[in-house]
Structure 1
Amino acid sequence: MNRDFTRRGFLAGAMAAGAVMGLSACGGSSASDAGSMRSGTDSSDGGAAYDGPLVALTFWNGFTGGDGAYMKSLVSEFNSEKSNINVTMQTMQWQDFYNKLPTSVTAGKAPDIAVMHLDYVGTMAARHAIQPLDDVAKALGLSEEDFAKAPWSAGVYHDVRYSIPLDVHPMGLFYNKRLMAKAGLDPEQPPLTLDTYMNALDKLKSKGIKGHWASPFQFTGGMSVYSLVSQFGGSFFSEDSSKAIWHEDAGIEAMNWWMKLVTKDYSPSKVSQDADFVAFQNDKCAFNWNGIWSINTLKENKKVDWGLAKLPKIGKRNSVWANSHQFTIPSQRSVDQNKQQAAKVFINWISKKSLEWAKGGQIPARNSVRNSGDFKSLTSQSILATQIDDVVFPPTVPGISDAIGEFYKAVNDIMLGGRDVSQVLRSSADRANKILEQNMRKYQ
């Protein structure tokens, strides 16, 4: 996943959340309409093998960036191995994907396989746009022991599994070795605690270097503050996911620390979108908290002398923003048992082969792949994989992305408007709570 793809994809996804749910309010595409589609789970025997006649499968995803080439290569390899299954991959912008999937189900034209971000699994499950996959997990003998805990748990909605995790893509600390050396810092020892981080920023500042450009935008500022809320001991939502609570003490502390980067002159004010990453590559910014998808971009830029580490522990505990791509099987108006079985074979095969996918800037969710020597040879990805138990995912709740979008708006308002941290966070949580209430009624 390259950086531009991910930023655009998630921003578009945030916009699409409202559009996807809005479809249910328009004639001809309600949740009950989608619910009339058959899941086909009653006739499945899992995904271990397929010995039937030749079937052609369609596979939808939003891999429009550099990672798309890696997935395309995997699909080609699968097709070359399976004489009786042919998969055609259709790639589109994530916004289009989240808009089109429910309507394709209602129209009886759904793809056979789809990959989506974990924060949309609840929405699509509630709209009956995707099928339960407990039978797949059972037949293949898959359980939490086979996957990282967080992405595995994220595929469950109302105690039913609707997705199989493919990967995890977290943030990390990218550090500019050239600037660290200029400030008298050891370029091979990135600061990973609050004290060492602030000391490094002070030394960089003494040399006229703004060490950490604090972005006001979701990419990467909002995701950074998201990480910090958890680091300072907070949560985004109540235990039952009915209330947004990022306005509480931990959220205020996290936002104030982020703002301090600007007020203490460690960062320019009002950093424009992506300027932090550009400055990092131009030797003007020493530290950049960014996503794993930035690895390949930096590898291609031979002018940058950079290193990578897990996100620093600024608060009380190690926590890091992350998301996950999850395999799903869309609901069908008319169930073709051969296609259903072949789709499960494909999902299982890709999961086992996710080392190649990792090269595109991902961490395999499957433990056997992540723990392999071949994955560990991917040095950068392996470094960020040490955070696999520290990732912070939103709950699997319909429309959760709409609610979280209010948090990202709050970060932007505070950073660009100079508004009161406590007041803005509380107002954004109040708006998010109204969204959560509306969704509870819509999807009950």
Structure 2
Amino acid sequence: MRYKALLAATAMALTAIPALAQENVTWWDFLSGGDGVRMKALIARFNDEHPDIKITGTTLEWGIPFYTKVRTAVAVGQGPDVMTYHLSRMPLGLEEGVLDEITDEDLKNAGVTKDSFFPASIKAASSDDGKLHAVPFDIHSIVLYYNKSYLEGSKFLDADGKLTGINNLKDFEEALALAKEKGAEAPVSYATGDDGGTFRVFYTLLRQQGGELITGKEVLAGDNLEKAAKAIEIMTNWATNGWQPEQAEYEASVALFTSGKSAFSLNGVWEVPTMIDLEKKGTLGYKWGAVQVPNLMGTQTTWADSHSFAIPANNKMSPEKRKAVMTVIGWMEKNSLAWAEAGHIPAYKEVAEGEAFRKMEPNATYAALANTASYDPRSPIAGVASPAYDAAINVISPAIHGYAEPMQAAEQIKQDLQEKLK
């Protein structure tokens, strides 16, 4: 009887011990493909390591559908606790009032400071008054992929098989002409029939001239109009010379390079895993590399954007929940080396400048672009899925295929976007 009584007492004592309190963090992202796989793996790792916090993730459709969903959810106070957000959308997000401020106390709870990140990404994540509204997770840009087989025996490959000798537009076009002579179907491949691919190349050429698409409330002010026309003229010349594909949508532009029909590709770092996977399978058929887009026009810079973490406005979370959210964000930053495997450059400098990342190729080769990145204009009509991208597919893409003169196209961009700013 004493034994049974002891067992009963022990059972009662155990049931009296409260269960470990667990904060449930609702997470929204727009990450599909390889990015989605990597993020889901990071979420699983976080949940395994944090019995007191559980991330419940939902992946929504990328682009306009995602940001429309966020706007609607915030309006009724039913947004997630944390979400991924493109920094190029920051000005519109601030105008719509969908982003909460990330305070110094929040950063402290995440175990980071503003100085933990590359300055360009922090600026892009902040409002004009310097208040932070997102925490940068990466810097992703277009880079110049190259197929070494078209450059062998030329001045464009050094003794180690690295791309060299492209210091201006003339050099690059000489390399394109060489590739054409060697049988390249499209010496430089990019998505000439896609809004994103066309905009990123155009914006890089514009910014490399020191040009600005939008300054304040004016589109292509002053000599920026001529610089925009020059960028379109260059892209048109590539088409006229048969150096770039006609009306190539994104998938087709990638296929041209991976199938060996292009010597170069101007595309995002996110295609690095594609190249690595093909190489590992032995199906690529050539040796390749990737570098920062060379300084073709006088200024070393490249179009770039960042995935970031943001907290929706109009949230009703407790201080404990908010601390849990910042714990999630801080952990993701400190474990972003796994995210870098998708080709991205970590925005968190401790990882980006660490030994492990410096050994990650080709990321380490183009990582310097983090210091010279050109984010989209700080305007509500710019950024992912914006009127600026609409102008790329509706005006620039037709122009580079010969349907409008470069200056005529630049003037049309100015007119179309200026109307959106009124």
Please give the range of the TM-score, normalised by the shorter of the 2 chains. 0.7 to 0.9
CA contact (8 A) 2:236 2:401 kept: no
Aligned counterpart, 2:67: 98
One-letter code aligned to 1:93: E
Aligned counterpart, 1:67: 35
How far residue 212 of structure 1 moved from its aligned partner, in angstroms, is 1.7
- Which one is further off, 298-307 or 348-357? 298-307
Q: Report percent identity of matched pairs.
A: 24
Q: Give the match's secondary structure for 1:168.
A: strand
- Which one is further off, 215-224 or 60-69? 215-224
- Which one is further off, 322-331 or 264-273? 264-273
List, as ranges, runs of 4+ consecutive aligned residues in structure 1 with deviation greater than 6 Å.
Answer: none
Aligned counterpart, 1:198: 173
Q: Give the match's secondary structure for 2:211.
A: coil
Aligned counterpart, 1:325: 307
For residues 41-86 of structure 1, give each alpha carbon's deviation from its aligned partner in whole angstroms, at most 9, with x where no partner exists: xxxxxxxxxxx93211111000112111211111112112222111
* 1:119 to 2:88 alignment: yes
2:367 aligned to which of 341, 366, 385:
385
Q: Structure 1 pair 185/167, CA: closer, same or farther in 2 (3 Å)? A: closer
How far residue 219 of structure 1 moved from its aligned partner, in angstroms, is 4.1
Matches within 5 A, 1:202-221: 202-209=177-184, 210-213=186-189, 215-221=192-198
Aligned counterpart, 2:405: 420
How far residue 114 of structure 1 moved from its aligned partner, in angstroms, is 0.6
2:257 aligned to which of 280, 286, 308:
280
What is the distance in 2 between the residues matched to 1:337 and 1:115? 21
Q: Give the match's secondary structure for 2:362.
A: helix
CA contact (8 A) 2:93 2:99 kept: yes
What is the distance in 2 between the residues matched to 1:268 and 1:333? 47
One-letter code aligned to 2:166: L
Q: Give the match's secondary structure for 1:274.
A: helix
How far residue 270 of structure 1 moved from its aligned partner, in angstroms, is 4.0
* 1:78 to 2:63 alignment: no
The two structures have a TM-score, normalised by structure 2, of 0.85
Structure 2, unpaired ranges of 5+: 1-19
* 1:353 to 2:341 alignment: no
CA contact (8 A) 2:83 2:310 kept: yes
CA contact (8 A) 2:109 2:323 kept: no
How far residue 254 of structure 1 moved from its aligned partner, in angstroms, is 1.4
Q: Structure 1 pair 268/108, CA: closer, same or farther in 2 (3 Å)? A: closer
How far residue 389 of structure 1 moved from its aligned partner, in angstroms, is 1.5
How far residue 142 of structure 1 moved from its aligned partner, in angstroms, is 4.5
One-letter code aligned to 1:218: D
One-letter code aligned to 1:371: E
Aligned counterpart, 1:7: none
CA contact (8 A) 2:53 2:324 kept: yes
CA contact (8 A) 2:344 2:363 kept: yes
One-letter code aligned to 1:384: Y
For residues 4-42 of structure 1, give each alpha carbon's deviation from its aligned partner in whole angstroms, at most 9, with x where no partner exists: xxxxxxxxxxxxxxxxxxxxxxxxxxxxxxxxxxxxxxx
1:334 aligned to which of 316, 326, 330:
316
How far residue 417 of structure 1 moved from its aligned partner, in angstroms, is 4.7
What is the distance in 2 between the residues matched to 1:397 and 1:139? 31
Q: Structure 1 pair 82/125, CA: closer, same or farther in 2 (3 Å)? A: same
CA contact (8 A) 1:191 1:312 kept: no
Q: Give the match's secondary structure for 1:278.
A: helix
1:397 aligned to which of 379, 382, 395:
379
CA contact (8 A) 2:143 2:267 kept: yes
Q: Give the match's secondary structure for 2:369.
A: coil
What is the distance in 2 between the residues matched to 1:213 and 1:332? 44
How far residue 185 of structure 1 moved from its aligned partner, in angstroms, is 5.4
**Larger Cα-atom Rg:** 2
2:125 aligned to which of 155, 160, 169:
155
Q: Structure 1 pair 265/97, CA: closer, same or farther in 2 (3 Å)? A: closer
Matches within 5 A, 1:161-200: 161-181=132-152, 186=157, 187-194=161-168, 195-200=170-175
What is the distance in 2 between the residues matched to 1:257 and 1:151? 29
Aligned counterpart, 1:311: 293
How far residue 111 of structure 1 moved from its aligned partner, in angstroms, is 0.6
What is the distance in 1 between the residues matched to 2:381 and 2:323? 30
1:429 aligned to which of 405, 414, 419:
414
Q: Structure 1 pair 60/272, CA: closer, same or farther in 2 (3 Å)? A: closer
CA contact (8 A) 2:26 2:82 kept: yes
For residues 309-365 of structure 1, give each alpha carbon's deviation from its aligned partner in whole angstroms, at most 9, with x where no partner exists: 111211011111111011111124533222111111111111111111111221100
Number of corresponding residues: 385
* 1:228 to 2:205 alignment: yes
Q: Structure 1 pair 271/327, CA: closer, same or farther in 2 (3 Å)? A: closer
How far residue 264 of structure 1 moved from its aligned partner, in angstroms, is 2.4
How far residue 134 of structure 1 moved from its aligned partner, in angstroms, is 2.3
Aligned counterpart, 1:53: 21
What is the distance in 2 between the residues matched to 1:279 and 1:190? 23
CA contact (8 A) 1:67 1:361 kept: no
How far residue 141 of structure 1 moved from its aligned partner, in angstroms, is 7.3
- Which one is further off, 262-271 or 358-367? 262-271
CA contact (8 A) 2:111 2:330 kept: no
CA contact (8 A) 1:59 1:89 kept: yes
For residues 233-272 of structure 1, give each alpha carbon's deviation from its aligned partner in whole angstroms, at most 9, with x where no partner exists: 211111x354344961221111111111122232344445
Q: Structure 1 pair 419/247, CA: closer, same or farther in 2 (3 Å)? A: farther
